[in-house]
């Protein structure tokens, strides 16, 4: 919520202080009262399968360039989480997918992220690397390059996929252990 200025930007010098009615420090404009809220980012993605294979993308960007991940990334403004997951699959792997269920919501406070990962089905095996991927591939469970997985949340999501693969609709999830 902004106070005073409604343009979404400070007009003058900002200071880190606790604004009235708040419980933590924020950047506040001394001239117009604008409060710059820095909130967690929402990451959306999917565990995409085709028959007994999983779609993985080898990252072409930091962090973790060269490591494998699920098609996932930050939500854009004015899109739903499902639209974002479908967009990310297209951007990273040129994959057309159909979302089935939510696998998990992962809270990662140390990097200010909330990740929402869906279960999805690949509609067409004609896939290729997008601009953020070096390569893409379809792997059986035993072929997944487990030692080259980019992020702990990829392990969590794949594990939750395996736990819930036979369920219809919303898949229950559990909070990952703290400190990961």
Give residue 4's pLDDT band: very low, low, confident or very high (50, 70, 90): very low
47 vs 37: CA distance, rounded Å: 32
Arithmetic mean of pLDDT over the chain: 90
Which of these, 145, 143, 124, 122, lies nearest to 59 by C-alpha position? 145
- Please write the tens of the pLDDT for every residue from 71-97: 999 999 999 999 999 999 999 999 999
- The domains found in the chain, sorted by start residue, are 1-38 (2.20.70), 41-164 (3.90.79.10)
Biggest alpha carbon distance in the chain?
A: 60
Task: Decide: 139 and 53 in contact? Cβ < 8 Å.
Answer: yes
149 vs 155: CA distance, rounded Å: 8
Transcribe 34-69 into DSSP letters: -EE---PEEEEEEEEEETTEEEEEEESSSSSTT-EE
- Please write the tens of the pLDDT for every residue from 31-47: 888 999 889 999 999 99
Is residue 15's pLDDT more than 90? yes
Give residue 2's pLDDT band: very low, low, confident or very high (50, 70, 90): very low
Is residue 173's pLDDT more than 60? no
> Would the pTM count as exceeding 0.85?
no
Task: Decide: 120 and 81 in contact? Cβ < 8 Å.
Answer: no
Cis amide bond preceding 141, omega within 30: no
Is residue 5's pLDDT more than 70? no
99 vs 93: CA distance, rounded Å: 15
């Amino acid at each position: 919520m902004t106070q005073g200025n409604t343009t979404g930007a400070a007009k003058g010098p900002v200071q880190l202080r606790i604004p009235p009615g708040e419980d933590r420090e924020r950047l506040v404009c001394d001239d117009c009262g604008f409060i710059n809220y820095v909130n967690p980012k929402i990451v959306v993605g999917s565990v995409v399968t085709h028959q007994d294979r999983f779609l993985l993308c080898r990252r072409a960007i930091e962090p973790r360039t060269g490591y494998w991940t699920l098609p996932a990334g930050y939500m854009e403004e004015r899109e739903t989480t499902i639209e974002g997951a479908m967009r990310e699959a297209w951007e990273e792997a040129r994959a057309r997918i159909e979302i089935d269920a939510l696998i998990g919501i992962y809270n990662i406070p140390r990097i200010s992220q909330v990740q929402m990962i869906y279960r999805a089905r690949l509609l067409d095996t004609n896939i290729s690397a997008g601009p953020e991927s070096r390569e893409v591939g379809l792997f059986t469970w035993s072929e997944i390059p487990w030692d080259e997985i980019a992020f702990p949340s990829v392990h969590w999501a794949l594990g939750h996929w395996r736990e819930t693969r036979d369920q219809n609709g919303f898949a229950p999830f559990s909070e990952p252990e703290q400190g990961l």
